[in-house]
Each structure stands twice: as structure tokens, then as C-alpha cells.
């Protein structure tokens, strides 16, 4: 097999599916790769100039040529003459998607794809589907927030859904390595920015929709319409109808059920949904359920916690049901997922505390997580959270109100402030917490109230002090960053992992209590 490094295609062969493409200059060049960042251009690459929110690739066209680009694809002519062919197109993102698919010989045509979209639950649902398919003996690849992986390959992602060129390259590598099924999180940004143009799915899953990314989409309706594109524009003519798996308990999901009717398999807690639990129990040890499916009932046992994960399990069952997977593989695959990185992830400790780290960074996700944990708490619930900078400001007080309703003790801190002033972000959150009647306290107070809130902008100190002041039996929820191993302050990306910080704080607390316990004869 020809290695990727030696792979090359005539420029004109990449433009067959690009409408209105016009080549200025010689067209008989060969292309050895595609690049959208001039700093990553290798000799022979086709450089695609994309107009983004913060930068314009057209500014870097000359730099790309200096680095060896064999041709450039643009939406407007460069100001200076170039020594390489210039491909003029109407829409660079759409053109890149088509060119990338051609360059890699349309790998998706040989793969079965499951696309999962929605505000919350995409990652957990994708892991459940992956596990079920693997238990059915299939070779599976995953593209999502926690990484791109298949076989022995594990790569950290720059984004949930990569750009079209990188996505087609992933599909190519998966196909080359024998993958038959790919489970993929499909973000609203990816759908809106044409990253998945030319990609068609055997199964599409809609988990839910709630407020998020309004800084990008502008309104909930536009946000929904971006998600809707997965079902309206990116579905194969499935051999396994119905191919759309939709949350029938979600108001936006109900719109999809009505619109696509015969193509939809609905899931939900209500018996009106095609896939629904006949019975279920939710506890500290996980979920037990009997689930009705078109193939009959299946008994489910899962270590995952809460109603939100029951929904994720139902979504996963719907996805694999559409692919004709056996119910025995369904039960085995769900039971095999013991935890999901950064999603209601419990940190075991000997301090008498329940400590849970979660990625929830939307009002709905945090409400669902805290609703679940509230039922499991024997003592007070501490909520440590912040909101990301340079993102939708309108959700900040809403998340504050959610934290105040479900938490006894709320600690407002930083998330990823980015270029915003962290103090300003927490001030946006504070009115929401205050609206629930909570009064402010300080970690320095000798006696803390039974209920209240405090502000500690330093996230490390916020986590450390919360674990120091919590009492045995209390539950500490650390929300917003989940699996992330960094914090973005200004333009700097610094190492930071909530789980590492929390474990350090638990170890410090444990060390402080050991002499006392020894003196009391515990040891």
C-alpha cells in the first residue's frame, strides 16, 4: 500500500465536485496534502484560505506559498501575483470538504457512521455505542470530545469535530486500519461551518437541546436549525430504517419527530416513545432497568449515575437497534462502561466526602447533574463552578440560579476565563445565586452557614478550600471542565485538571486528620 507521505493527486481531480471552481495559472500540478494553517504547510500541499471569526486565511496565502504550497484555494484573489495556481471558489469551506473527500478517495463510502448531536450527552452516548458495537465483534472508531481513537491509536483532539480535511484524513486512516463502524460526535459548529459536508450517516442521534453557544448561533432557533442539518442534509438512505434516533421527551426532539416521522425511532421515559424503560431504579451504585425496544425487552445494569445517563443509555440502544445489533451485545456493552472521563466522575477517597467532577457547562446540563446528585447526598451539596470567558454571557446568571437551587453551598470561581476579566465573569454569575436567597460567606469564617455562597476566583484555591471546609457526608460537585487538563487564562493555556487538584486536596485533608485519628485510637 502507498504510504500517506507519498500520496498525491492531480489538482484538477480534487475539483470535480467543487462547483464553479476556476483555476488561474497552470492546472497540471499535483497535490500531496491539504492545509488550512500556513504554519503547517508542507511542500506540495493545497493551502485553503478560510475566513474565520478571528483570522482570515487570505492574509497568509503568501506565507503558505513560501512554505511550499503547490496551489492555493481562495474566495478572493490575492493582492500580489503568485507563482502557483490559484483556485477561485464561491465558498472555501464547502470546497475544502469536497476536495478532501476526493483526495482521500471518499473513505466514508466504505464505513458505517453513527452521528450524535445535541447539547448534552454526546460523549457518554458515543462511548456506550462504541462499547456495544465492540461487544458485537465490530471494529470501531470514535471521533469526539475525549479523543480520536481506534485499535491502538489514541489522539487528543483540538476540537470535538475536526475540520473537513482532518476529518477525511481520520476516516481514511480508520478505513485503512480495518475499521468498519465510526461513532462520531457532530457539533453544531461542525454542521454550521461545513466540516461534515459530504459526510452521510447510517444513523443520526439527537440527545437534547438547551441553551449553549448562543455567542456563535445568536438564538435558540438558529442553534436548533444547525443541529437539524444532521437529519435534513447528512443522512444516508439507510438499509436499517428508521435511521434517526431522537429524544421524544425533548421539546426540540419532538419537532424532529414530527418533521421526519417515519424515519424516526424515538426514545424517552414515557411509554409513547419507541424505546422506553418498563421499570428503572437510580441509585448511588448506578442504574438498573428493563428497556422496551422494537426487538423486545432488554435488562440493563450500568455503573453510570442518574436520569441523564438513563437517557444516554436509551439513545445508545436506539442507535445500535437501527444497525441490527443483538440485545445481548447491548446489555454487555452498556455494563462494560464503568465510568466516563469527566462526566459525573466519582473520586474515591477516605475523607467521608462524595466528590464528583463533571463537564456540565450549560444550565440544563448542570441542573440534570445536580438533580441526580441531590438525591444521593446525605449531607450538604457544595457546587464549585464558573463560566467560560468570551462565550455566551446570558447563561451565567441562569447557571448561578441553578447552582443556588440545587446546592446548599455555592462556590463561584473561574472556568476558562480566556481574554475576559475573571472578576467580571463571576459578577455576571452572582445575581443568579443571590436570586435564590443565599447570603455570602467567606472561607475564612470560623463557622460557616448551613447554606450560602462565596466567591473565589482562583479555581485551585476554590477546590482546595471547599474540600477543606466540607464535612463528612457532604457531596462536592466540581462542574464545568470535567475531562479538561488545562485552563485558559488570557491567551495562555496552562496545565490544570480538576481531578488532580481535588485529589491533592483530599490527600492534604487526609494527612491533616491522621494524627487526630491516631490519638483517638483509630489507628
For residue 271, what is its C-alpha cell? 411509554
482 is an annotated ligand-binding site residue: no
Question: Which 3 state secondary structure label does DSSP give 501?
Answer: helix
Asked if residue 293 belongs to a known ligand binding site, the reply is: no
Q: Is 395 annotated as a binding residue?
A: no
Helices and strands (DSSP H and E) totals, the chain: 16, 26
Question: Positive or negative CA dihedral for 437, 441, 447, 451?
Answer: positive
Q: Among residues 470, 463, 455, 476, which one has the least CA distance to residue 502?
A: 463
Beta strand segments in 175-274, E? 181-185, 203-206, 244-247, 264-267
Residue 480 assigned ligand-binding role: yes
| DSSP per-residue string spanning 65-110 | HHTT-SEEEESS--SS--SS-EEE-S-HHHHHHHHHHHHTT-GGGG
User: Is 414 part of any known ligand binding site?
Assistant: no
Answer yes or no: is 259 a known binding residue.
no
Among candidates 171, 173, 107, 113, which has minimal Cα distance to 138? 113
Which is nearest to 157 in space by CA: 145, 175, 141?
145
Is 418 known as a binding-site position? Answer: yes
264: which DSSP letter? E
The verdict on whether residue 160 carries a ligand-binding annotation is yes
Is 119 labeled as ligand-binding?
yes
C-alpha to C-alpha distance for 400 and 390, rounded to whole angstroms: 18
DSSP string, 305-330: -HHHHHHHHHHHHHHHHHTT--HHHH
Q: Report whether 255 belongs to an annotated binding site.
A: no
38 assigned ligand-binding residue? yes
Query: Which H or E element spans position 487?
Result: strand 486-489
Question: Does 187 show up as a binding residue in the annotation?
Answer: yes
> Using CA atoms, how far apart are residues 375 and 384, in angstroms rounded to an integer?
18
Q: Distance between CA 71 and CA 61 in Å, rounded?
A: 10
123 marked as binding residue: yes
* Half-sphere exposure at residue 63, Cβ-oriented, CA atoms within 13 angstroms: 14
CB atoms within 10 A of CB 178: 10
Rg (CA), the chain: 25
Set of cell numbers at residue 489: 487564562
122-135 vs 306-322: helix axis angle to the nearest 10? Answer: 50
Q: Is 161 annotated as a binding residue?
A: yes
Round to whole Å and give the CA distance between 147 and 127.
Answer: 11
Is 390 labelled as part of a ligand binding site?
no
Alpha-carbon distance values, 245 to 22, 162, 320, 361 (Å): 41, 23, 10, 24
DSSP 3-state assignment of 183?
strand
Phi and psi torsions of 134, nearest 5°: -65, -40
Task: Enumerate residues 6+ apart whose C-beta is below 8 A from 414.
Answer: 386, 422, 425, 426, 457, 458, 459, 487
What is the rounded distance in angstroms from the CA atom of residue 341 to the CA atom of residue 127? 10
Which residues carry a binding-site annotation? Answer: 38, 118-124, 160-161, 187, 195, 391, 415-418, 480, 484
The annotation places the binding site for ATP at 118-124
Summarize the annotated binding site for meso-2,6-diaminopimelate as residue ranges: 391, 415-418, 480, 484
Amino acid at each position: 500500500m502507498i504510504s500517506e507521505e507519498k500520496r498525491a493527486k492531480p489538482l484538477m481531480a480534487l475539483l470535480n465536485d467543487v462547483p464553479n471552481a476556476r483555476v488561474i495559472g497552470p492546472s497540471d500540478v499535483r497535490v500531496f496534502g491539504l492545509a488550512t494553517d500556513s504554519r503547517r504547510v508542507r511542500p506540495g500541499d493545497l493551502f485553503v484560505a478560510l475566513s474565520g471569526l478571528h483570522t482570515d486565511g487570505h492574509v497568509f496565502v503568501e506565507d503558505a506559498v513560501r512554505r511550499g504550497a503547490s496551489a492555493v484555494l481562495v474566495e478572493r484573489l490575492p493582492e500580489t501575483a503568485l507563482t502557483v495556481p490559484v483556485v477561485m471558489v464561491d465558498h472555501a469551506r464547502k470546497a475544502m470538504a469536497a476536495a478532501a473527500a476526493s483526495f482521500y478517495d471518499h473513505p466514508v463510502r466504505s464505513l458505517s457512521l453513527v452521528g450524535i448531536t445535541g447539547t448534552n450527552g454526546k460523549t457518554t452516548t458515543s462511548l456506550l455505542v462504541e462499547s456495544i458495537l465492540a461487544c458485537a465483534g465490530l471494529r470501531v472508531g470514535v471521533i469526539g470530545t475525549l479523543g480520536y481513537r481506534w485499535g491502538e491509536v489514541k489522539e487528543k483532539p483540538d476540537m470535538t469535530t475536526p475540520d473537513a480535511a482532518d476529518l477525511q484524513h481520520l476516516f481514511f486512516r480508520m478505513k485503512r486500519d480495518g475499521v468498519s463502524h465510526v461513532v462520531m460526535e457532530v457539533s453544531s459548529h461542525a454542521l454550521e461551518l461545513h466540516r461534515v459536508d459530504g459526510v452521510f450517516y447510517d444513523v443520526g442521534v439527537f440527545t437534547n437541546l438547551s441553551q449553549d453557544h448562543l455567542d456563535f448561533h445568536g438564538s435558540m432557533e438558529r442553534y436548533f436549525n444547525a443541529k437539524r442539518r444532521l437529519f435534513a442534509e447528512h443522512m444516508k438512505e439507510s438499509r436499517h430504517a428508521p435511521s434517526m434516533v431522537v429524544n421524544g421527551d425533548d421539546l426540540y426532539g419532538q419537532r424532529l419527530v414530527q418533521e421526519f416521522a417515519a424515519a424516526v425511532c424515538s426514545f424517552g421515559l414515557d411509554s409513547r416513545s419507541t424505546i422506553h424503560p418498563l421499570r428503572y431504579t437510580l441509585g448511588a451504585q448506578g442504574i438498573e432497568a428493563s428497556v422496551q425496544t422494537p426487538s423486545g425487552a432488554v435488562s440493563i445494569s450500568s455503573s453510570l449515575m442518574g436520569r441523564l445517563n438513563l437517557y444516554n443509555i436509551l439513545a445508545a440502544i436506539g442507535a445500535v437497534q437501527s444497525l441490527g445489533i443483538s440485545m445481548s451485545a447491548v446489555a454487555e456493552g452498556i455494563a462494560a462502561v464503568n465510568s466516563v472521563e469527566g462526566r459525573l466522575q466519582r473520586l474515591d477517597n477516605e475523607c467521608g466526602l462524595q466528590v464528583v467532577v463533571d463537564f456540565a457547562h450549560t444550565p440544563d446540563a448542570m441542573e440534570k447533574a445536580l438533580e441526580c446528585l441531590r438525591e444521593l447526598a446525605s449531607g450538604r451539596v457544595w457546587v464549585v463552578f464558573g463560566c467560560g470567558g468570551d462565550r455566551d454571557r446570558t447563561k451565567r446568571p441562569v447557571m448561578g440560579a441553578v447552582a443556588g437551587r440545587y446546592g446548599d453551598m455555592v462556590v463561584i470561581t473561574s472556568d476558562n476565563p480566556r481574554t475576559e476579566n475573571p472578576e467580571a465573569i463571576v459578577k455576571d454569575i452572582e445575581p443568579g445565586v443571590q436570586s435564590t436567597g443565599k447570603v455570602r460567606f467567606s472561607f475564612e469564617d470560623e463557622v460557616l452557614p448551613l447554606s450560602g455562597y462565596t466567591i473565589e476566583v482562583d479555581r485551585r484555591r476554590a477546590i482546595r478550600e471547599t474540600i477543606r471546609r466540607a464535612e463528612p457526608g457532604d457531596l462536592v460537585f466540581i462542574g464545568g471542565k470535567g475531562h479538561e487538563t488545562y485552563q485558559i487564562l488570557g491567551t495562555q493555556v496552562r496545565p490544570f485538571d480538576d481531578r488532580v487538584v481535588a485529589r491533592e486536596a483530599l490527600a492534604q485533608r487526609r494527612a491533616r486528620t491522621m494524627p487526630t485519628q491516631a490519638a483517638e485510637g483509630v489507628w
